[in-house]
Amino acid sequence: MDNLKYTLKKLKAIKLAMNVKKYRNEVYKLSILVSEIHQELKETELKYYANYTTENNQQHVNYYRQRALAFKNKALVELEELEAELNKRNVNLARCNVLLDNLIETELRMKDVEKLLSKWKSVNNNRNVKRNYFTV
């Protein structure tokens, strides 16, 4: 989790450096940092948990695992798109800012996963809720 906080700090630093006129002509260097962040996220295993009440009723856990993987892939694609945008001859700073804002606000799409996982409710109001941990 500390690694993720450090990654978010890097993204904020990239956004700040990109918007300072002094560094605009060195934007291509920022693409190297973005590619490093992409590689770090790709190699990082994110750990989540899904609640369940009985051993026989865990079909939703696989769904949550697939959705978490989809959100991680979405963050990876946004980082690839940001890197491609930074490597263009005429960088569209507005597009880069939108991509960076999305990644920072959603904490690399982890908030989206947590919001999805928090929606689960027991149908039979059973208070013996257990957790099934999984990584993506």
Between helix 59-87 and helix 110-118 the angle, nearest 10°, is 160
Ordered by start, the domain boundaries in the chain are: 2-135
Q: Which amino acid is at 127?
A: R
Residue 10 has pLDDT above 70, yes or no: yes
8 A C-beta contact, residue 124 and residue 52 = no
8 A C-beta contact, residue 51 and residue 116 = no
Q: How many CB atoms lie within 10 A of CB 39?
A: 12
pTM greater than the 0.85 cutoff:
yes
pLDDT of residue 132: 83
pLDDT of residue 102: 95
> Residue with structure tokens 């750990």?
47
